[in-house]
Amino acid sequence: MRRFWAIAAAFLLASCAPEPVEQAEPVKPVEPVEQPQESTLTIRSVGDILVHSDVYTAAQTPDGFDFNRMFDQVRPYMEDADITTANMEVPVAGPELGLSGYPTFNSPPEIIDALQGTGVDIVNNATNHTMDRGGDGVVASTSNMRERDMLYVGGYASPEDAATPRIIERNGIKVGFLAFTYGTNGIPIPEPHMASLIDDTLAAQVSNLDKQVDATVVMLHMGEEYSPLQNAEQEATAKTALDAGADLILGGHPHVVEPFAGPVWYSHGNFLHGQWEENTKVGGIGEFTFRKRGDETTFEGARFMPTFTVGPPTSYDHHVIPLVEAQDYLDVDAWMTDLKARLNVDVVDYL
């Protein structure tokens, strides 16, 4: 009997023992998804630097020329960008080849010093005035710009110079530049590299540069002078460049502001000059933003800050000011209304 109870007790103890618990598989940490790097780049651009004789006369000093003060009131809006461009409308061959204004220009090279002082990184050197001092003028102009570390595009000193891509890198974004003009006022071009013409090689040049950079900027010098709207030829040429890979078109030559169309600005208008007509005195600073995410770079949008060039016949104290500060010279409200209605872009008082 005692043995029976011992067996029963052992059975009960065995039946109450906990069953072995299976160990759960360890949870593997989730690998974080690597986000593509993202950066932005801002380009600001101004129009025609058209150095009439009264402009360089106003800049004359006992020691030469100083154009710096002419940009004092717009300098903060030009230099506050990753890249700033300008249209160097005329040769800067200097007094050795004879200074002159309209109709065949040649400016003191000190204008380049002043542009550098406003933050300009690269200038368009393909305009209808590029050949105003002939081949010698192109060689002298490009030499003066190189001496001042100013990058130029569109008119070159040599074939080797022309074959060197104009690329500026900021914030991990490479931007390439090309420039072309419709012509040179009938003045012969001694060597093709001295002035890049709008011709059937444009698309191939754009496509070739586009393979080397994240964004391609094409400067086009063309259009009808003093027209407030672009013409069909401007639209067709811009489309050719865009189809070939251009990401931004910067236009000039009409001497007045023309509309934007997405990444196309058909005409900047004048910036510093000596023309008298009111519509030639209103120009501006365009701002263009690009965003790079991973390997893809996209155009994000544009803004426009209008400017006014103080000059004859009101004053010979040539300088550029924000348009909203030009109440003493023209009807600012009327001009702002016109620009906002016509330009197809965000028009702002200040950038």
In this predicted structure, what is the pLDDT of residue 165?
A: 99
- Report whether 178 contacts 218 (CB < 8 A): yes
State pLDDT tens for residues 93-115.
Answer: 999 999 999 999 999 999 999 99
Q: Locate 118 and state its tokens.
A: 């406003």
In this predicted structure, what is the pLDDT of residue 36?
A: 74
At 25, is the pLDDT very low, low, confident or very high (cuts 50, 70, 90)?
low
What's the mean per-residue pLDDT of the chain? 94
Q: Locate 71 and state its tokens.
A: 């940009």
| Cross-strand pairs, 282 | 308
State pLDDT tens for residues 137-164.
Answer: 999 999 999 999 999 999 999 999 999 9
Give whole-number Cα distances, 236 to 23, 224, 239, 347, in Å. Answer: 72, 14, 5, 25
- Report whether 99 contacts 108 (CB < 8 A): yes
Q: How far is Cα 105 from Cα 97, in angstroms, rounded to an integer?
A: 11
Contacts of 326 (CB under 8 A, 6+ apart): 308, 310, 332
What is the mean pLDDT of the segment spanning 331-339?
A: 98
What is the mean pLDDT of the segment spanning 307-322?
A: 96
In this predicted structure, what is the pLDDT of residue 31?
A: 66
Domains of the chain are 38-347 (3.60.21.10)
At 24, is the pLDDT very low, low, confident or very high (cuts 50, 70, 90)?
low
What is the mean pLDDT of the segment spanning 298-310?
A: 98
Q: Locate 74 and state its tokens.
A: 């717009």
Q: Locate 264 and state its tokens.
A: 């196309």
In this predicted structure, what is the pLDDT of residue 345?
A: 98
Q: Over 50: is that where the pLDDT of 10 sits?
A: no
In this predicted structure, what is the pLDDT of residue 11?
A: 43
What is the mean pLDDT of the segment spanning 25-42?
A: 76
pTM value? 0.90
What is the phi/psi pair of residue 60, to 5°? Answer: -70, 140
What is the mean pLDDT of the segment spanning 318-344?
A: 98
| Cross-strand pairs, 351 | none
At 28, is the pLDDT very low, low, confident or very high (cuts 50, 70, 90)?
low
State pLDDT tens for residues 231-290.
Answer: 999 999 999 999 999 999 999 999 999 999 999 999 999 999 999 999 999 999 999 999
Which has more pLDDT, 315 or 67?
Answer: 67
Which has more pLDDT, 59 or 12?
Answer: 59
Residue 135: closest CA among 219, 51, 195, 185: 195
Q: Locate 155 and state its tokens.
A: 């008119």
Q: Over 80: is that where the pLDDT of 169 sits?
A: yes
Q: Over 80: is that where the pLDDT of 23 sits?
A: no
Q: How far is Cα 317 from Cα 227, in angstroms, rounded to an integer?
A: 27
Chain centre to alpha carbon of residue 196: 18
Q: Over 70: is that where the pLDDT of 87 sits?
A: yes
Which has more pLDDT, 13 or 287?
Answer: 287
What is the mean pLDDT of the segment spanning 45-73?
A: 98
Q: How far is Cα 65 from Cα 351, in angstroms, rounded to an integer?
A: 29
In this predicted structure, what is the pLDDT of residue 19?
A: 54
